[in-house]
C-alpha cells in the first residue's frame, strides 16, 4: 500500500491535480471566513464592475438630506487656464473648421466657446484646414488644458430644501483625497456579474456546494461498500450469497 502511494506521488500529472484540488479546497474553507457576505447579494447595484478595488461613494461624497443633483462647474478653472491667446486661437479654429456663424463665435463667452470647442474639435479637422505644425501642436495643448480644467473642476452637490428648491450643500475638489481606512472598500477579484453580484464569492459558494455533494456521495458509497464487504466476510460467501442472505432477511 505504501509503495503504491509513493508511486502515485511520483507522477507529475497527479501532483499538479492534487495541489490544484488542495488549493480549491483551502479557498472554499478560508474565503468564506474572510468574505462573509451573501453570495447572491447585489453589491454592485446591478452594474458590471471590472476586477479591482472600489470605494463606497456615499462615504466619500456625503451630504445630509436627499441628493438631487451633482454637477461640475469648470468655469473658474477655464478662466484661470486659458489665456487671451488661447481664446483667440479657439475662435480662429471654430471659424475655419466649423459652420457656426462668426457672430456667434465673436459674441460667445469662454464657457460657450469651450462648449463649441468640445462639440466640434477634431485633430483631423485641424490637419485638413492646413494649419502649420506649430499651430496644430498649440491646439493639442489647448485641448489637453480644457480637459484638465474639467478634471480639476469641483463637484457641486445639491439637495432639495424645505422650500422645494435646490440648495448647494457641499463642494468636492477633484484633488481632495481620503484615507481608505476611513471608507468602505470592496475588492472584486473577478468583477461582478450583470446583477452586480461578486463573481468570485458566487464561484466559491458554488464550488463549496459541489465539493460537499461529492464528499457526501463518496461517503455514502464507501459506507455501503464497507457494510457489504464486512457482511460478505462475516458470512464467508460470494456476492451472490450475500444478496441471497440479504433477501432472506
Q: What is the mean pLDDT of residues 151-165?
A: 71
67/160 Cα distance (integer angstroms): 7
Predicted confidence at residue 207, as pLDDT, reads: 92
pLDDT tens string 124-137:
888 888 888 888 89
Q: What is the mean pLDDT of residues 226-244?
A: 66
87/94 Cα distance (integer angstroms): 11
Predicted confidence at residue 66, as pLDDT, reads: 46
Please provide the average confidence, as pLDDT, over all residues in the chain: 78
Q: What is the CA radius of gyration of the chain?
A: 35
Hey, what's the torsion of the CAs at 134, 136, 141, 145, to 10 degrees?
140
Amino acid at each position: 500500500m505504501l509503495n503504491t502511494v509513493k508511486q502515485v506521488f511520483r507522477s507529475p500529472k497527479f501532483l499538479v491535480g492534487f495541489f490544484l484540488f488542495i488549493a480549491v479546497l483551502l479557498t472554499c474553507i478560508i474565503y468564506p471566513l474572510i468574505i462573509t457576505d451573501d453570495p447572491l447579494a447585489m453589491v454592485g447595484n446591478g452594474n458590471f464592475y471590472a476586477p479591482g478595488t472600489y470605494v463606497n461613494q456615499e462615504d466619500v461624497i456625503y451630504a445630509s438630506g436627499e441628493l438631487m443633483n451633482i454637477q461640475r462647474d469648470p468655469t473658474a478653472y477655464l478662466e484661470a487656464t486659458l489665456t487671451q491667446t488661447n481664446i483667440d486661437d479657439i475662435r480662429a479654429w471654430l471659424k475655419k473648421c466649423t459652420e457656426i456663424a462668426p457672430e456667434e463665435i465673436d459674441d460667445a463667452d469662454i464657457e460657450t466657446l469651450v462648449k463649441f470647442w468640445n462639440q466640434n474639435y477634431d485633430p483631423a479637422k485641424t490637419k485638413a484646414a492646413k494649419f502649420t505644425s506649430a499651430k496644430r501642436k498649440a491646439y493639442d495643448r489647448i485641448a489637453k488644458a480644457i480637459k484638465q480644467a474639467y478634471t480639476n473642476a469641483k463637484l457641486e452637490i445639491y439637495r432639495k430644501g424645505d422650500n422645494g428648491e435646490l440648495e448647494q450643500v457641499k463642494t468636492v475638489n477633484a484633488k481632495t483625497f481620503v484615507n481608505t481606512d476611513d471608507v468602505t472598500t470592496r475588492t472584486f477579484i473577478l468583477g461582478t456579474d450583470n446583477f452586480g453580484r461578486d463573481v468570485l464569492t458566487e464561484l466559491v459558494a458554488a464550488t463549496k456546494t459541489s465539493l460537499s455533494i461529492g464528499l457526501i456521495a463518496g461517503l455514502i458509497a464507501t459506507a455501503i461498500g464497507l457494510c457489504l464487504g464486512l457482511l460478505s466476510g462475516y458470512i464467508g460467501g460470494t456476492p451472490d450469497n450475500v444478496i441471497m442472505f440479504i433477501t432472506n432477511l
